[in-house]
Chain A
Amino acid sequence: MSDTKTPQTEEKTNHIGLTKEAYGGLPSTLCAGCGHDSITRHIISAFYEMGIKPHNVIKLSGIGCSSKTPAYFMSKAHGFNSVHGRMPSVTTGAILANRTLEAIGVSGDGDTASIGMGQFVHMIRRNVDCTYIVENNGVYGLTKGQFSATADPGSVLKKGETNDYPDIDLCSMAILLGCNYVGRSFSGDMNQMVPMIQGGIAHRGTAMLDVISPCVTFNNHEGSTKSFLNVKKNDIAIHEIGFHPYFETPEVDLKHGEERQVELPDGSVISLKKVSQDHDPTNATEALNMINESKAKGQILTGLLYANPKANVSFRERLKMVDKPLAYQTEDECRISKEDFEKLQRRLR
C-alpha cells in the first residue's frame, strides 16, 4: 500500500475556502511506487487549485488498476467504477442527467485502447464533457502482465515475450477524431500534469490526457519502453506549461515573446513556453507530424499537443438541454397536456 495523501499544509485553502485535504480519498491499494498514485496526487492538486466543489464532481472509471484510483481521490464526490472499457457511456449518461456536474474519467490502456476503443472513439466524436485520463503503462496489470495495445513494438515483457504489433497512439487518434484538447504527459511530471488537468477541467467537451504511468510490478524492467528509466530518458517536453485560472488576475508578464497562449471557455488561460520546439497548439497537422517524428526517434513527446477549444461545441451545448438538470424534471415539466394527450388518441380513430 502506498499513500496518496498529501502532507498537511498549515490551513492553506483554495479560492472557495477548502483545504487540500477536502480533495483527498481513501488510501491507495496499488503497488508501492505505482505511477498511478502520482497521477492521483496530480488530480487532487488540480481540482484543489481550480477550486471545484468536490460534491459537484463525478469520477468514473472502467476496470483495471487505473480504474481503481477514483477511490483514492475526492471522497466527497460520487464515484462510479463501471465495466471494462465502457466508462465513456456511463459518463455520457450521467452528464445528460445532470449537466451541472464536472466529470473526470480515469481509464487505462487496456480499458481505452482495446476493449473500450469503440466507446473512447464515440465519446470523442460526441465531445462529451469530461476530463479523460488514460493511465497508460502498456500492460495489463490486474491480470498479471499481458501486453496492451499501446505497448511499443519491440518492447519486451517481464516473462521475455517481445511485442511485434504496432502500438495504438491514443493522442494521434484523439486528434484525428476531432478531440480539441489532447495532451501527453508522464506520471512523474507534476509541473506538466497539474496545469494540463486544470486546463482539461476548464475545457468544454472531451479533454484527453494520455499519461505514461509505469507499472512497477510488470513493466519496469530492461527492454520495456514504459519503464521509469526509459520514460525519464526519452521524455521530451515540448513546452513548459502554465495555467492561469479565470479567478486570478492575469499576470502582466504573460505575454513573453516565446509564449503561446490558449484561452479556455471559462476565461482561464494556458501559457506554453517553448522548451524543445515552438509548437502552435491549434495546429493539428503539426501535432500529428511531431508525434510521428519523435516516435521514430524513440522519444516520448509530452505536453499539450493539441488545444483548440473553439473548434467544436461540447455535447452538452449541442443537445441544447434546459438549465435545470433532467434528473429534477417534474410531472408538469415531463407530461404533455391533457388536451394534447386526448388529441393524439382521437387522431388514431
Chain B
Amino acid sequence: MSGSEIINDMSLQFATVNGTGSQSANNIITKAIFRMGIPVGPKNIFPSNIQGLPTWYTIRANKNGYRARKKELDWVVCMNADTLIEDIKSVEKGGVVVYNTDILPKGFTPTRTDVTYYPVPFTSLSRDKVPQVKLRKLLVNVLYVGVLAQLLEIDREVVESVIKDTFGSKPKAIEANIDAFNVGWQYAEENLKKSDPYKLTKMSGQNEDLFLTDGNSLAALGSLMGGCTVLAWYPITPSSSLCESLIGYWEKFRRDENGVANFAHVQAEDELASMGMVLGAGWSGARAMTATSGPGISLMSEFVGLAYFAEIPSVLMNVQRMGPSTGLPTRTNQGDLLSTVSLSHGDTRHVTLIPGTPDECFDFARISFDLAEELQTLIMVLLDLDIGMNIWNCKTLNYPTDSFKRGKVLDKEGLEKMKDWGRYKDVDGDGVPYRTLPGTDHPRAAYFTRGTGHTEYATYSEKSEDWTHNLDRLHKKWNTARGMVPKPITIGKGNKVGLIAYGTSDLCMAEALDQLSAEGVKPDYMRIRAVPFTAEVKQFIEDHERVYVIDQNRDGQMFNLLNLHLKEGRLIDKLKSIRHYDGTPLDARTVCNEVTGKEKAL
C-alpha cells in the first residue's frame, strides 16, 4: 500500500448467525485490540432468539478515544448468507468486505468497485483444517480472527495471550483456538493480497488504567460492595445478567467452607413477587434489591407505590430495553425515564440514579443502598441494555472503605432516648422519619406498616390533614434527596449553546462535541446523573441561550421531565429536544447533525 495508511481508526462489523459461537471470537478480537493499547468500543446487536437469527457485532477502534458506535462501517466480515447482500451494501466507500465464499447466495457476484474484497472459503477451511469435528462450527469464527489479524497487522502474540486467558484452565480449548487462529492467519498470508489502507498498531496512553467489562456485572459488584444481602429477581433480558453476576460473586466469595451463606437470593415467580420480597426484606432491615426491565417494571408498579408511601428502603435496578409492551427485548432505549421516576398510582416520585459510565454502574449501585436507608425510600438505578450488556471500558475502581450509612434506625437504646417516637414523624425537619426494625426488644418498637392513609404514629387515618401533612413531608424528603444524589458533570463554560444528555448517550458526546466544534457550533455539555435535579441543572439552563436535550426515546422524556420540574416558563422556552430511538446506541454523527440542523433553522 502507498502512504495513505489509516492507522487505529476504523469501525468493523461481524455479521453472523446467533447461536454459532461467534461471541467468543468477537471478544478475542476486542480484547486483542484493547491490549494493543488502542481505544476500543464493541457493540453487540443481537436478536431475541437462541439460535438461527442474524446478529451483528461492531467494534470501533479509534486512537482519539472515541469508543461509541459509528454509523459508518469501514470493514464488514460476512458470515451470514441471509444478510450478506445487505451487509456488503452497508460498507462505506473505500471500505473492506471479508466474506465467506462458501455461503454465497445463488448467482451472487461481488459488484461494488469502491470496496476491497477479501474472499475466504471459511466453511471449507474449517472442514479441511480443523481436526475436531464437533468444534468446526465454533472455530470457523476463530478463523476470521486469524484472517483479520493478519490483514490488519494485529499482534499475533497478543491474540495468543488473549486466547490463553480466555480459556484459562482448558488447555485443549486453548490449543484448538490457537490452531484455528493460525489456520486463518496462514490462509490470509498465502492467499490474500493486502490492498486496503487500514491498519492497527500498538499504542499507549489510553488503556493503561482501564479494564473491559459490562455494566451489569459492575452494578452487581457495586451491590455486593454496597452491602446488599437479599436479591429477589425474575429473569428478563437485559437485566438477568446483573442478577446472575451478583449471585456469582456471592456464591464465590460469601459462602463459607460449611456452605453457610450471609446472603439470600430468590428467583421469584414473577416481578410482583420479586418486588414484594425486596420490600419485606428492606422493612425487616436487610439491604435488598431487584433488577428488571420493561414489562417487569410495569408489573412492579403497585409495590413500588407502597415502597414510596410506606417508606421502605429498597433498590430497583431497571436495565432499560425497547418498549412499549414486549417491544424489542434486545435493543437499547431510554424509554423508561418518565415511568421510572413516577412509577405507580397517585403522587409518587422516586429518587433515580442514572449511571452513564461503567464506573458509575459500580458506584451508583453501591451508593443506592446507602441512599435507600438514609432516605427510607425506594432508589431506582436506571441503566440500559447498551451499558448493561455491552463491553465497556471501565476505569480502575477504588476499593470502598467507607461505612454503610444505615440512616435513622432506632434500636432499643435509641428508643429509650426518643420518648415520643412516631414512625412517620419528621423530627429533624428533613422529611426523613425514624424507623425501627422488627425484632427490636422494646415495648415501643413495633409499628404497623400500611399503604393506606396513616398518621405520624403509623395509625390508620382518613383525615384530610393527616393525608396532606404526610404527602407534604414526603415532598420535603424529595428535596432532601436533591442534596444527596450525584450532581451533574459539565464540560465547557461560557458558550451560548448547551447540550444536556444522560446515561449511555455520554459515550458518543466527546466525539459529538469535536464534530460540532469543527462545524462551528461550540456547545457546553452537561450530563445529568440523577433525579431529583440538583441546582446545577437549573443554573446550566439559566446560563445558556438554547439547550438541546438529548434523549434515546421517541417522546423526549428527559426534555419533558425538565419541563415538568423546572416550572419556570423562561427556562422551559430555552429547551429543545433531540431524540434517537431506533434501538441502536446513540452515535456522534446523529447528535451533530441534529444540533447543526436545528441551529441552521433558527
Binding site for B on A (CB under 8 A): 53-56, 58, 60, 70-71, 75-83, 86, 88-98, 100-101, 118-119, 121-122, 126, 319-322, 324-331, 333-336, 338, 340-342, 344-349
Residue B286 is within 8 A (CB to CB) of chain A in the complex: yes
Verify A90–B283 contact, CB threshold 8 A: yes
**A89: nearest chain-B partner, CB-CB:** B276
In the bound complex, how far is the Cα of B162 from the Cα of A8, in angstroms?
78
Known contacts A91-B280, A97-B285; decide if A80 and B260 are in contact (CB<8 Å).
no
Verify A55–B284 contact, CB threshold 8 A: no
Residue B495 is within 8 A (CB to CB) of chain A in the complex: no
Known contacts A76-B446, A98-B439, A320-B259; decide if A93 and B284 are in contact (CB<8 Å).
yes
Verify A97–B269 contact, CB threshold 8 A: no
Q: Which 5 A-B pairs have the closest CB atoms?
A: A93-B280, A89-B276, A327-B285, A97-B286, A97-B284
Rounded to whole Å, the gap between the CB of A119 and the closest CB of chain B is 6
Verify A93–B276 contact, CB threshold 8 A: yes
**A92: nearest chain-B partner, CB-CB:** B277
Rounded to whole Å, the gap between the CB of B383 and the closest CB of chain A is 18
Pick from B255, B396, B399, B451: contact of A82, CB below 8 A: B451
Binding site for A on B (CB under 8 A): 34-35, 165, 210-213, 221, 224-225, 227-230, 232, 249, 253-256, 259-264, 266, 268-270, 272-286, 288, 302-303, 306, 394, 396-397, 399-400, 403-404, 436-443, 445-452, 460
Could you say which residues of chain B place their CB within 8 Å of the CB of A119? 269, 272-273, 276
In the bound complex, how far is the Cα of B234 from the Cα of A143, in angstroms?
32
Rounded to whole Å, the gap between the CB of A253 and the closest CB of chain B is 38
Instruction: Give the most central of B227, B254, B273: most A CB within 10 Å.
Output: B273
Could you say which residues of chain A place their CB within 8 Å of the CB of B446? 54-55, 75-79
What are 24 contact pairs spanning A and B, CB under 8 A?
Answer: A55-B439, A80-B449, A80-B450, A81-B452, A82-B276, A89-B277, A91-B280, A94-B281, A97-B283, A98-B286, A101-B439, A118-B272, A320-B261, A322-B256, A322-B260, A325-B439, A328-B285, A331-B227, A334-B229, A336-B224, A341-B225, A348-B211, A348-B213, A349-B211
Instruction: Give the most central of A95, A119, A126, A322: most B CB within 10 Å.
Output: A322
In the bound complex, how far is the Cα of B441 from the Cα of A53, in angstroms?
9
Could you say which residues of chain A place their CB within 8 Å of the CB of B259? 320
Additional 19 contacts, C-beta under 8 A, given A82-B279, A86-B302: A56-B439, A71-B448, A78-B283, A78-B436, A81-B451, A83-B302, A93-B282, A95-B284, A97-B280, A100-B439, A126-B266, A320-B255, A321-B262, A325-B285, A331-B404, A334-B254, A335-B400, A340-B253, A342-B399
Rounded to whole Å, the gap between the CB of B247 and the closest CB of chain A is 12
Rounded to whole Å, the gap between the CB of A160 and the closest CB of chain B is 32
In the bound complex, how far is the Cα of B534 from the Cα of A56, in angstroms?
42
| Total residue contacts A-B, CB cutoff 8 A | 225
Could you say which residues of chain A place their CB within 8 Å of the CB of B261? 319-322
Verify B439–A92 contact, CB threshold 8 A: no
In the bound complex, how far is the Cα of B442 from the Cα of A53, in angstroms?
11
Verify B273–A122 contact, CB threshold 8 A: yes
Rounded to whole Å, the gap between the CB of B422 and the closest CB of chain A is 15
Could you say which residues of chain B place their CB within 8 Å of the CB of A96? 230, 264, 266, 277, 280-281, 284, 286, 288
Verify B229–A329 contact, CB threshold 8 A: yes
In the bound complex, how far is the Cα of B268 from the Cα of A331, in angstroms?
27
In the bound complex, how far is the Cα of B255 from the Cα of A250, in angstroms?
40
Known contacts A93-B279, A329-B227, A349-B35; decide if A81 and B403 are in contact (CB<8 Å).
no
Verify A90–B447 contact, CB threshold 8 A: no
Rounded to whole Å, the gap between the CB of B212 and the closest CB of chain A is 5
Rounded to whole Å, the gap between the CB of A129 and the closest CB of chain B is 13
Verify B272–A89 contact, CB threshold 8 A: yes
Rounded to whole Å, the gap between the CB of A288 and the closest CB of chain B is 24
Verify B260–A320 contact, CB threshold 8 A: yes
Rounded to whole Å, the gap between the CB of A58 and the closest CB of chain B is 5
